[in-house]
């Protein structure tokens, strides 16, 4: 009896801990849509809206950042840190690694923040992403789409070592380290060194941009699932965090995909509600648009209103058959054919049309012309600056998304 109750109590505790890890949040760049810098009041307004969204299926009290550096500064801590402290918002931090040979300014900004804010800051940090879509940018497909200068696997691994050395023995030493990239970057065996070096993997996935795959809204859930399952299969026992996904409310039609509030709601239900919310650490794209060059607009609210553009309440039934997705896991895994050059035959990304702005502030020494990342619909061209830091639907046709911490297994013990 005692043993049984003890085991049950332990299982419940583990399940509770697992559930606690399934954060809900949005992405947030370092600049506004007009490319001007965001300051504390701007981040604070975002975080307060996110936590007070009408009808939300949970509390969106986490945020994913792309840089530690305040826009227009060299190595000053981004003011999102102070806003997070004041609003008790959890932080998935990011270090910009594309187009640079060192991350010293990023590390300096982070060290300054630790010194200035102490545990009020470090206690809110749930993860550290070393890089964002760097492997995709350096793939053949990324080059074709003018996604900008990325970083090869060995460079990402060396930056991970630099970060660990800089914070060894400190409060951030226990923070799980990850890297964010497209799904077919993870299924590419030439990038395995990065998988081996991280504690978790972050995936960006936008079925909207999946050309020639039947990317109409009714098929979006299945496309997402295939990429998600392929990612999970490729990374083994590493937890998968969904770092970007969403459906545009306005913009141009993309193959069979059409933007609208109605379709954004359907995607929210079929992907977010059915597959992600409460099951995987999820950072939706997005609460507020920050990239003026992306014609697709993903913001779920207007002017940071707590009343969203569509109903966020989750339905009790879904159109997407999860069992079909599970049975097609193997086909999903093979969708992206790995190449030693770092590319994937499956990726059909949008042509570039502007900076993705997922990188650090333009004033950052680490921010180079590579800035524009792969973002969906974003140009990511070599001339794009990293100023916006938005990380918008960058994923371009490829990325995908997914999953949840391996802790999810414990979650089901309940």
Of the residues 21, 44, 82, 133, only one is catalytic, namely 133
Q: pLDDT higher for 148 or 385?
A: 148
224 within a domain of the structure (yes/no): yes
8 within a domain of the structure (yes/no): no
pLDDT, tens only, 106-126: 999 999 999 999 999 999 999
**Band of pLDDT at residue 326, cut at 50, 70 and 90:** low
Task: Compute the average pLDDT of residues 207-236.
Answer: 97
Query: For residue 286, is the peptide bond before it cis, meaning its omega torsion is within 30 degrees of 0?
Result: yes
Domain enclosing residue 223, as ranges? 24-284
Instruction: Tell me the β-bridge partners of 130.
Output: 95
In total, how many domains does the chain have? 1
137 within a domain of the structure (yes/no): yes
pLDDT, tens only, 28-81: 999 999 999 999 999 999 999 999 999 999 999 999 999 999 999 999 999 999
Task: Compute the average pLDDT of residues 212-216.
Answer: 97
Residue among 70, 202, 63 nearest 132 (CA)? 202
Residue among 20, 12, 80 nearest 50 (CA)? 80
381 within a domain of the structure (yes/no): no
- pLDDT at position 382 is 29
- pLDDT at position 141 is 84
- pLDDT at position 299 is 98
- CATH for 270: 3.20.20.80
- pLDDT at position 140 is 87
Range 199-202, long-range pairs (CB < 8 A, 24+ positions): 199/238, 199/239, 200/127, 200/176, 200/238, 200/239, 200/240, 200/241, 200/405, 201/231, 201/235, 201/238, 201/239, 201/240, 201/241, 202/129, 202/132, 202/178, 202/240, 202/241, 202/242, 202/243
Residue among 45, 27, 162 nearest 94 (CA)? 27
pLDDT of 217 over the 50 cut: yes
pLDDT of 411 over the 80 cut: no
Range with the lowest mean pLDDT among 57-71, 141-155, 374-388? 374-388
Measure the CA–CA gap between 116 and 118, rounded to whole angstroms: 6
Task: Compute the average pLDDT of residues 181-199.
Answer: 97
- pLDDT at position 212 is 95
pLDDT of 148 over the 70 cut: yes
pLDDT of 16 over the 60 cut: no
- pLDDT at position 21 is 83
**Band of pLDDT at residue 348, cut at 50, 70 and 90:** very low
Residue among 162, 191, 267 nearest 223 (CA)? 267
Measure the CA–CA gap between 379 and 377, rounded to whole angstroms: 6
**Band of pLDDT at residue 325, cut at 50, 70 and 90:** low
Handedness of CA 287, 387, 395, 23 (dihedral sign): negative
Q: pLDDT higher for 281 or 388?
A: 281
- pLDDT at position 69 is 98
Of the residues 21, 44, 106, 244, only one is catalytic, namely 244
pLDDT, tens only, 294-307: 999 999 999 999 99
- pLDDT at position 344 is 34
177 within a domain of the structure (yes/no): yes
Task: Compute the average pLDDT of residues 324-349.
Answer: 38
DSSP state of 189: G
**Band of pLDDT at residue 144, cut at 50, 70 and 90:** confident
Task: Compute the average pLDDT of residues 305-315.
Answer: 98
3-class secondary structure, 313 = coil
Query: What average pLDDT does the chain have?
Result: 81
- pLDDT at position 235 is 98
Q: pLDDT higher for 1 or 145?
A: 145
Range with the lowest mean pLDDT among 3-7, 176-180, 346-350, 360-364? 346-350
Please say whether the beta carbons of 25 and 61 come within 8 A.
yes
DSSP state of 370: G
**Band of pLDDT at residue 94, cut at 50, 70 and 90:** very high
323 within a domain of the structure (yes/no): no
Contacts of 291 (CB under 8 A, 6+ apart): 29, 33, 354, 355, 356, 357, 375, 378, 388, 390, 392
- pLDDT at position 324 is 66
301 within a domain of the structure (yes/no): no
Q: 244 catalytic, yes or no? A: yes
Task: Compute the average pLDDT of residues 172-197.
Answer: 97
325 within a domain of the structure (yes/no): no
Instruction: Tell me the β-bridge partners of 31.
Output: 37
Please say whether the beta carbons of 56 and 284 come within 8 A.
no
Q: 133 catalytic, yes or no? A: yes
pTM: 0.80
- pLDDT at position 14 is 36
**Band of pLDDT at residue 6, cut at 50, 70 and 90:** very low
């Amino acid at each position: 009896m005692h043993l049984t109750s003890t085991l049950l109590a332990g299982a419940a505790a583990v399940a509770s801990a697992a559930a606690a890890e399934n954060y809900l949040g949005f992405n947030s760049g370092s600049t506004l849509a007009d490319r001007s810098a965001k300051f504390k009041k701007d981040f604070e307004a975002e975080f307060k809206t996110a936590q007070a969204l009408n009808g939300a299926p949970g509390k969106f009290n986490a945020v994913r950042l792309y840089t530690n550096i305040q826009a227009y500064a060299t190595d000053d801590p981004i003011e999102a840190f102070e806003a997070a402290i004041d609003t008790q918002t959890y932080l998935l931090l990011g270090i910009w690694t594309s187009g640079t040979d060192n991350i010293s300014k990023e590390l300096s900004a982070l060290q300054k923040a630790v010194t200035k804010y102490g545990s009020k800051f470090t206690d809110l940090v749930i993860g550290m992403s070393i890089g964002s879509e760097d492997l995709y940018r350096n793939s053949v497909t990324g080059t074709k789409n003018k996604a900008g200068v990325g970083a090869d696997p060995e460079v990402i691994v060396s930056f991970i070592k630099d970060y660990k050395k800089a914070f060894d023995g400190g409060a951030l030493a226990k923070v799980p380290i990850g890297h964010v990239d497209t799904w077919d970057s993870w299924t590419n065996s030439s990038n395995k060194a990065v998988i081996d070096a991280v504690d978790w993997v972050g995936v960006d996935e936008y079925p909207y941009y999946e050309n020639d795959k039947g990317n109409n809204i009714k098929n979006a859930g299945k496309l997402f699932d295939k990429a998600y399952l392929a990612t999970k299969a490729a990374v083994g026992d590493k937890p998968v965090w969904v770092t970007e996904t969403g459906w545009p409310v306005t913009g141009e039609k993309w193959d069979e995909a059409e933007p609208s509030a109605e379709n954004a709601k359907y995607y929210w239900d079929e992907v977010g509600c059915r597959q992600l919310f409460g099951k995987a650490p999820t950072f939706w794209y997005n609460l507020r648009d920050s990239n003026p060059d992306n014609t697709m607009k993903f913001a779920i609210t207007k002017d940071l209103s707590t009343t969203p553009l569509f109903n966020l309440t989750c339905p009790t039934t879904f159109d997407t058959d999860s069992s079909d997705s599970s049975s097609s896991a193997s086909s999903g895994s093979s969708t992206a054919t790995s190449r030693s050059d770092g590319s994937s035959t499956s990726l059909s990304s949008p042509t570039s049309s502007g900076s993705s702005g997922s990188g650090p502030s333009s004033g950052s020494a680490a921010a180079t012309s590579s800035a524009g990342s792969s973002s969906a619909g974003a140009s990511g061209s070599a001339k794009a600056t990293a100023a916006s830091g938005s990380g918008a639907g960058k994923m371009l046709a490829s990325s995908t998304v997914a999953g949840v911490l391996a802790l999810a297994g414990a979650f089901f013990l309940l």
